[in-house]
Structures are given as structure tokens and as C-alpha cells.
Amino acid sequence: MEKIEFLNNGSVTSVPGFLAAGVTAGFKKSGAPDFALVYSETPASFSGVFTSCTFAAAPVLLGREKVRQGGTLRAFAINSGNANACTGAQGLENARKSCDIAAAKLNVPASDVVVASTGRIGVQMDMSLIERGFELAVPALSAQGGNDASRAIMTTDTVPKSVAVKIRINGIDVTIGAMTKGAGMIDPKLIAPHATMLCCITTDADVDNEVLAGLLLPCAQDSFNRITVDGDMSTNDTVIIMANGRSKVKIVPGSVEYDLFREALLTVMQKLAREMVMDGEGATKFVTVKVVNARRREDAVLAAEAVANSLLCKTAWFGNDPNWGRVVAALGYSGAEFDPAKCNIFYDETPVVRNGGDAGTPECDLLDVVKKREFVITCDFGEGDEEYWVWSSDLSHEYVTINADYHT
Amino acid sequence: MEKIEFLNNGSVTSVPGFLAAGVTAGFKKSGAPDFALVYSETPASFSGVFTSCTFAAAPVLLGREKVRQGGTLRAFAINSGNANACTGAQGLENARKSCDIAAAKLNVPASDVVVASTGRIGVQMDMSLIERGFELAVPALSAQGGNDASRAIMTTDTVPKSVAVKIRINGIDVTIGAMTKGAGMIDPKLIAPHATMLCCITTDADVDNEVLAGLLLPCAQDSFNRITVDGDMSTNDTVIIMANGRSKVKIVPGSVEYDLFREALLTVMQKLAREMVMDGEGATKFVTVKVVNARRREDAVLAAEAVANSLLCKTAWFGNDPNWGRVVAALGYSGAEFDPAKCNIFYDETPVVRNGGDAGTPECDLLDVVKKREFVITCDFGEGDEEYWVWSSDLSHEYVTINADYHT
């Protein structure tokens, strides 16, 4: 397998043929950038995965429709500050109108535009701000604009999240760039046409829509769908991938090129997923919860998600408390089928629970692990060969502060 | 329906024929009472419901066995400070030994004793403390000991929780007394032979084991199983009911007496369930989440539980934030099937969401509701006639403080 090279300061515009901008349209009272535009100089093939929330936001409804219709994409616009969710027929109309505005300003078909929103739920979009967003962003589009764009999509994020990798396929450089945002309301279950997490991925590989769709969902399942900050899934989660084909490297299933590209794509998406958890609201810890040797995959999934979402585990992590009783309690109520007497638990490599009881490791050794910024909890069911892992954060005072702040 | 009279200062010993004591055996470093004993002067019929956690504690395993075996009960002993969970064969042996000690000191068959434990998971019981508990509690047993017993079972509870009611059936007084504890690790799913919530219910009605079992589970489903503090279910949840028959009022299914008794029992269990949520770790709010007019009951259950357990909803409640976007997001990811466009939401009687969008109620009116110590969120799906409700608390800084405190 060839090397995946991370580019310094990489972003969606590290990919030749993609321009981007991030501007202040006025959605945020703070005056911080709140409108991002990613533009492909040529029609790009594309795919998308979206929230599975029943109350899916207007732009999600439109985005799904566009993915079903197929065709090409030229622009992906994202505003931060208003989610355009629970806004009914007018919300949908406003999302369509945003595409029309983009089309006019960019001189592309409205059907080649996808929009996404994040922010407050239940408030109608102030369309004058959308107008203003495009007015400012279109002239600002540039091949250096990726990092500006990633700053403009932040909400409670403390750092912008962009990445780009380069791989060589048959002697030719293929680039994948991406940006994401999301620090709260994060427990994505992306489904084909699911946090508010928003992600835009660009590439110059030559991949058609159907192949992109076949790559995007499994990669989302092994990245964004594996993370949880607060267990709350959003109405607006959207991941859009655009491929402009400029490298002329054709990606078709069953080829070596496909495997290379898939690995690079997964690497990009996992890196951003990790960064989202690291930057989760109030997070001070990054904890990988891993269930191994389960009889059925679904048992591993239930068990890992229960521990990763347990308030008692998350507060213990915050408190540097090695209390494994909370881990076994969560495994026990998860609904997973396993034999407690065969269950072994490790904090990193340190044995914690052996055969369902205390492994007898001195507490100071456990403390050494749980005091770290990042550690792995492995729950070994000793019954089969199925496994699953989830990336989670701790639950801190800062989380409560961020989310209890009156902000209606 | 005759009146249910709450007794002043009511407790498990408000019921004639039941004695109780609460003493300091030494489990708690603080020196606070930590060992409770409830004793029936005559053999009592009984039943129990327990945690559905896979890692059920040793006393839960024994308790289930005893419920299956049937017979009578004379004593229910509870220690606070050690959960005797994940303690393997030795833990089970220690639980049996506790029954033996009780039997010897009380001069009753060991098979007529049930024990329950709450506290730290994974630590073997110091049997000398159990010895000491019985040594001190047996001579202290008294008809006034109910309130002492309820104090001895507290962990992070800030107040003891006891209640007793009297009903008249056919001109005869029948009393039901009860005590409970539990402020964290509270999301009980009690199943026949599930929180760490511990509850002891006494009555002088004449009810056989099978009838008690038939009453206890449905009443638990409409009380303890409806509450959540942190969504974490415990390894030790135990509810034991004992009936000594002293009133000579026979309770058999299909009779008026049965209906009267059932209502009184449910009243007692709901009162304690409410008190547990009110006294939930760090709780400042008591929120009833109600889903009405759902097509299927399971949709109502999924939806109500998702809102009741949402960290974003719980922190908003703590912050007096009427943000209904978090409520609709939780409904949307709950897995419940409903039409968002038909969904109406009320805070108490105040419309918040109409047909899936903003009902237009001025924010100050919503604030008036969510600032209250106690309010009801009603989600009306407008599609059928099924409903479900859950009692929940908010998520405060104090919750994080309590549970992030290093206490291994």
C-alpha cells in the first residue's frame, strides 16, 4: 500500500480545481465568519449522506433530493447561525431560493448547488443574509480559501477542522481535501441520502456518483458514525463529497486504485471525526471504547455505544476516576448478550476486570492510564470474533456551561 | 374509589407487624448510618423485581432465586457502601452468608431473608461489617424504626424517602409503607425476578406471593421504570414487597379490594419515584415528558425516553432555556415513527411547536414555564391514541461535581 501524505495546512482547496471562501454574512451576532462557499471550476460528480433525524432540516431534504436526482455539482454553500430546521414549507422554499441565488451569482444551474445550515432550530432564514453571503463569498472565492471556509462553518467549535491528503496512484498525484465542523449535538447516524456535523470533501479523482455513494456511506460508518460527544443527533448533519476528475485517475470498484482511494478517503474522514471528538463541547479527554471477541457484531455495537454514552462513565473520565464499576454497569444494561463471567476489561494494556471481577491491578496503575488525555477501554467478551469501537469524550463542567447558557 | 390517606411521617413501620432499624455498621467512611433491617414479626408473603443489568449483583442473583422459590419472608437487610457486584463466586457466597447471619441473629430460617446492597462495585464485602450491622440492628428493631432505616440506605441522596398510606377496604384499615433510595445511576428497567434504586414495601394486606408478583411488576412499570436521572441503569436495583396479612383483608384479582389496593400501591410507588427524581444527583428541575396521540405505544415510549435522556434537553432545562429545537431533535432521532408536520409541542399548557414549526408564542411566555421547578413537556403526534410519559431531571454542574469526584 502506498503512503498517504498529509499536506501542511491542507483544506478543501488543496485539491486543484476547487475554490472556497469564508465570509461574515451576519448570522452570528459576534461578527465572526458565518458563511462558507466551496466551488468547483468544472462540473463535479458527487454524493452525500445525511442525518437520519425525522425532523430533518430543509437543506437536508433538498440535499437528499439532489443526491437521488444525480447529475453534477458546482457549489456547496454552508451558513452557520440558523439551521433552517422545523421551518416548514417556507423553510424549504428558502433553501431552494438559496440555490437560485447561488446559481445566479455563480452562473451555474441551480440544480448544481447544494446548501447546508447549522445553528438555531425553528427560525425562518433571513434571506437578506443569504444574499449578502453569496455577494461577499463569490468574489472572495480562491484556491487559498479552504481554511477561511472551515472557520466560517464553526459554531461551538474551538478550532477549525480541515485536512488534505495526497496519494500517488499509478504515478499520478490524487488529492482529497475536507473540512468539517461540530462540537455539540454530536452522535451522527448518517444514512444514505446523518450530528450537526457538516462536512465537505473534495477530490480530483475521477469517480462517478454511484461509486462515490458506494464509498461514502461505509467510510461514514467507520468514521463519523463512530463518534459521540453528547449522544444527541442533529437535524442537519450533512456530508457532501465532490470529485472533479481533474487528475484523470479513474476510480472503479474492484481495482487497486479503488482500494488506495478508499483508504485515503477513510483516513481523511477518520482524522476529522477524531478532531470533532477532541474538540467536543467541553471535552478534556478522548476515549476509544472497544468491544472485542463478541459473538455477534450487534452485541459489540450495543455494548460499545452504551459505555461511550454513559453519563457516569463520561463524568468519571472527566474526574480521572478509574471506576470500572460504571463501565460494567453500562455493558450490563446495554442490551448486548454476553457472559459477564467471561468479560475482561483493559484500560490501554492494563488489566482492569478479569472474568467479570476485579483484576487486582493496583489503583495507581489504573490512574496512570485514566489521567491521560487519550486512552482506550477494551472490553473483551471472550466469546466470538466480532468487534466494534466508538470514539467518545468526557462530560465536564464546561459542557454544562456551554449548553445551559440561555441562548434562545 | 375510596380515599388514599397519606400518614404523617409514614414509613415501612407504619404497617402493624413490621419493625425496622438503621444503624452504622462502618461501610461509610463518614460514619453515617449504612445498614438497614426490616423485619416482619410473622412470616410474610412477598415478591420482588430486580435490575435487568447483565452484571447483576450477588444479592440480586440471590433475591431472584428466592422470588422463584417462593415461600415466606421475615427480613430484608440492606447495606449501603458496597454493592457486592462483580464479586464472583465469593460475592455470592458472602451474600448467602449474610442471610445465614441474619437467620442466626433473628432466629428465622435463612431462606426467609433477602439482602440488598448499594455502593461501590467490584469490592469484596467485609463480612465483619455485615456481622456488626446485624449485631447492632437486631436489638434496635422497633415499630418506630422506619425512618432510621430509610436514612441508612441513602448514598448520594440528600433526603431520606419514606411514605405510608392508609386505605379503608370493607371498613378495615389497610396500610402500605415503603422506603426507597437512589439519586444516581437511575434509569431503572425493573424486570420480574431492574436502578441502584432499592425499595422496600410493607403492607398488612393479605396477599399471596403470586398476586403480589402480578401487582408489583405493572406498578413498577408505571413508577420506577418511568424515571431517569442519568440514563445509567444499576447492577443492584431491587424492589421487595412484603405482606404480613395482619389486617385480614384478602386481596385477590378481579375484586374491588384488588383495585383499591392496586391504586394505593401505585400511589406509594409513584410518590417515591417522584421523590427520587426530585432528589436526583444535582437535580434542580422535575420535568414530565409526555408523548400523546402516537400511533403505536412503542413510538411514544421511544420518543419520551429520548427527550427525557437528552443531554442537550437536560442542560437547557438547567439553564431555563425554552429551546424547543433540542426537543424536536431528540424526538427526531428517537427512532419513533411519526409525521413531523403533525407534531405539536406544549410546555405545560403553552403551545411551543405547531405542525412541526414554531407556534409563535412569545419567548417570555415560554420562559415563565421553563423557569419553574416543575413543568410538563407534551409532544402531541396527532396520529393515534397511544401515550407514554417519563419523569426526568435536569443536568447541572452539581451532577458533574458529584460524579467526577475521585472516589475509587
Instruction: Tell me the per-residue pLDDT of A250-272, one tens digit each, with 9 for 90 and over.
Output: 999 999 999 999 999 999 999 99
Does the domain formed by A286-404 have CATH 3.10.20.340? yes
| pLDDT digits 0-9 by tens, A165-174 | 999 998 999 9
Contact B327, B346 (CB under 8 A): no
Taking CB atoms and an 8 Å limit, are B400 and A400 in contact across chains? yes
Mean pLDDT, to the nearest integer, of B235-240?
87
Report d(CA B91, CA B235) in Å as an integer: 13
DSSP class of residue A250 equals B
CB–CB contact A232 B407 (8 Å): no
* 253-292 in chain B: CB under 8 A from chain A: none
Q: Which residues of A are catalytic?
A: 196
Q: How confident is the model at residue B186 (pLDDT cuts 50, 70, 90)?
A: low
Residue B26 pLDDT more than 90?
A: yes
Question: A152 versus A197: which is more confidently predicted?
Answer: A152
Residue A55 sits at the chain B interface (C-beta within 8 Å): yes
Cα(A325)–Cα(B80) distance, integer angstroms? 15
Considering just the CA atoms, what is the radius of gyration of chain A in Å? 22
The tens digit of pLDDT for each residue in A312-370 reads 999 999 999 998 999 999 999 899 999 999 999 999 999 999 999 999 999 999 999 99
CB within 8 A of B333, min separation 6: which ones?
A51, A52, A53, A54, A187, A189, A232, A233, B306
Is the confidence at residue B190, as pLDDT, over 90?
A: no
Q: Where are the domains of chain A?
A: 5-278, 286-404
- Are A407 and B122 inside 8 Å of each other by CB? no
CATH topology of domain A5-278: L-amino peptidase D-ALA esterase/amidase (3.60.70)
**Is the Cβ pair B122, A54 closer than 8 Å?**
no
What is the value of pTM for the model shown? 0.85
Substitution target in A94, A315, A361, A383 with the highest count of B β-carbons within 10 Å is A315
Flag whether pLDDT at A26 surpasses 50. Answer: yes
Q: How far is CA A47 from the centre of its chain?
A: 15
Q: Give the whole-angstrom CA distance, residue A325 versus residue B120.
A: 7
Q: Which residues have CB under 8 Å from A47's CB, separation 6+?
A: A67, A209, A212, A213, A215, A216, A240, A241
Catalytic residues of B: 196
Q: Work out the average pLDDT over A368-392.
A: 97
Position B62 scores a pLDDT of 94
**For the residues B141-170, what does the mean pLDDT come to?**
93
Residue found under cell 467478551 = A381
Å from A95 to nearest chain B CA?
A: 16
When CB atoms are compared, the residue of A185, A331, A341 closest to B329 is: A185
pLDDT of res. A408: 47
Which residues of chain B does A189 touch, with a Cβ-Cβ cutoff of 8 Å?
333
> Taking a contact as any Cβ pair under 8 Å apart, which residues of chain A between 167 and 186 contact chain B?
184-185
Tell me whether strands B344-347 and A357-358 are parallel, antiparallel or unpaired: unpaired
Instruction: State residue B408's pLDDT score.
Output: 47
Write out the three cell numbers for A197.
456535523
Give pLDDT, residue A406: 56
Are A52 and A189 in contact by the 8 Å Cβ rule? The answer is: yes
Q: Tell whether B56 lies on the interface with A, counting CB pairs under 8 A.
A: yes
Cβ–Cβ contact A30 with B under 8 A: no
Mean pLDDT of A38-52: 93
- Predicted pLDDT at B235: 83
CB distance from B29 to chain A under 8 Å? no
Q: Touching check for B25 and chain A: CB below 8 Å? A: no
| Residue of chain A with shortest Cα separation from B86 | A357
Complex ipTM > 0.85: no
Half-sphere exposure of A363 (CA within 13 A, CB side): 9
DSSP single-letter state for residue A144: T
pLDDT tens-digit profile of B46-96?
999 998 888 889 999 999 999 999 999 999 999 998 999 999 999 999 999
Phi and psi based region of residue B211 (left: phi greater than 0; alpha: psi -120 to 50; beta: remaining) = alpha
Which distant-in-sequence residues (6+ apart) come within 8 Å of B143 by Cβ? Answer: B13, B18, B19
